[in-house]
Chains A and B, each alone.
Chain A
């Protein structure tokens, strides 16, 4: 029973979801679900932070870990859930909007995310990732009256099932080789193998990596992301691009360091390929996008590549650079998608940003901040994050990859700054965008605050970003 302490944040989220399910019909037209979700998310984040003081622990027969790594990401997931729930207030205009179900699925997806970052065994890891992915897939397709949303949901579901199959195949091969699914057991069994004479182990690691690469939308398993983001409602796209991706990175980091750490060469080749391809493809394909959500989707693909740079080499300092990257990236992406959501229909097309600064200077200013941060220009959090991962890849001795990352950063400036040019160098356009509702403003304010603080106090996150 004492193990239950480890999962109090998850229990808070799941308990709120169950209470909402029971009362769904009676509170469908009220904001109870949204308020409950925000409160539960904040409570879960605070409790996750407080649990850190109890020190590292592993419970449930070695399946669930409580350590600095898991709690760091749990706080991030709680914050993401709260911001996404705040940004969602605009998305319930339609008659058939399933307001309560929407929040229930958000809560359950976040429960899965929190379990995934604390999983210390491949089986709970797989199950919690499935909980996250299944809920996200329904959320993508939840706008039943929109064919685009349905199509995106089905695409995400089919490709996601395929990726899950790869992951479970990798897990079963790992079990076949090592006889255990526990990370510590895998690490000790794998360290006696050398990759050169064990092709099966290389295949197992490759399959697990492929399954996880799908979750973070790294090239070549990225094709679902632009379609899913475009078809989903904007807050859900934000949830996928930030929360889902941060969790994928967290799991990737833990699996690389805690389970397969001794196979440095195999991991290094896989990570270099994923990172290099993601950065190049994401940055270049984003140049030709005219839909804002697709543009941000390709940007998020490139950012997945940057974040992976920290894991190359398997050094603890690199892993904490990836953690910092995931943290700051989450908030700047939430911010950028939040502005898109706040502008409604107009925000979905690139052309919709023409002359925004003349009409809504505050909104345009926020968008400017997030775009500058996504580009990686100081003094924003995006620069701190990018600096950390590129420094770590240089230390690992991969100079060409670092040069590539910097070059693609310059390329990415073109498409981010195109939005800025549209906003600031044009006269006002019709229709006049509406102002920010108070909850959306609150969500954007949190994102902006983190983005600014991360830029002016780059070391502020360092004490907490400790690798597993």
Chain B
């Protein structure tokens, strides 16, 4: 169990620092509330709205493209760990796998998926 003690301590330190900052801010800070300031903060987005707004479809394509490289990385990491044990056939198989993924990327590129009009 002792090897987990460090993790527990770092959790406590992090929670302590966060709590301290919130506490100091709310006691020492100057207060000048406006309706805009009292809204829950959510990264510049309007926190509550009906889900009928529009979202650019470009983000969807970006997300799909991200998956392409994400899957690649997920597979490359464990492969790199056992690379020496696999020998030359491991290298060939990885090149084939990357080739197939690149075919998908070339398709997107070829059909104008990378243009941000």
Residues of A within 8 A of B (CB): 1, 18, 21-22, 24-25
Contacts and interface: CB of A to CB of B under 8 A. Distances in A.
A18 B103 contact: yes
A156 B20 CA distance: 52
B103 A24 contact: no
Given A18-B100, A22-B106, 13 more contacts: A1-B89, A18-B103, A21-B103, A21-B104, A21-B106, A22-B103, A22-B107, A22-B110, A24-B107, A24-B110, A24-B111, A25-B110, A25-B111
Question: Which size bracket describes the interface of B in this complex?
Answer: under 10
A18 B107 CA distance: 10
Contacts of B111: 24-25
Nearest to B110: A25
A21 B106 CA distance: 9
Interface in B66-117: 89, 100, 103-104, 106-107, 110-111
Contacts of B107: 21-22, 24
Contacts of A18: 100, 103
A104 to B, nearest CB: 9
Contacts of A25: 110-111
A1 B87 CA distance: 13
A292 B106 CA distance: 41
A21 B68 CA distance: 15
Contacts of B104: 21
Contacts of B100: 18
A22 B107 CA distance: 6
Contacts of A22: 103, 106-107, 110
A224 B5 CA distance: 53
Nearest to B99: A18
A1 B90 CA distance: 12
A24 B89 CA distance: 31
Contacts of B89: 1
B106 to A, nearest CB: 6
A1 B100 CA distance: 18
Nearest to B106: A22
B27 to A, nearest CB: 50
A76 to B, nearest CB: 27
Nearest to A26: B110
A21 B109 CA distance: 12
16 contacts: A1-B89, A18-B100, A18-B103, A21-B103, A21-B104, A21-B106, A21-B107, A22-B103, A22-B106, A22-B107, A22-B110, A24-B107, A24-B110, A24-B111, A25-B110, A25-B111
Nearest to B104: A21
A25 B110 CA distance: 7
Contacts of A1: 89
For B104, B106, B110, which residue has the most chain A Cβ atoms within 10 angstroms?
B110
Contacts of A24: 107, 110-111
B114 to A, nearest CB: 13
Nearest to B100: A18
A21 B89 CA distance: 26
B47 to A, nearest CB: 28
A18 B89 CA distance: 22
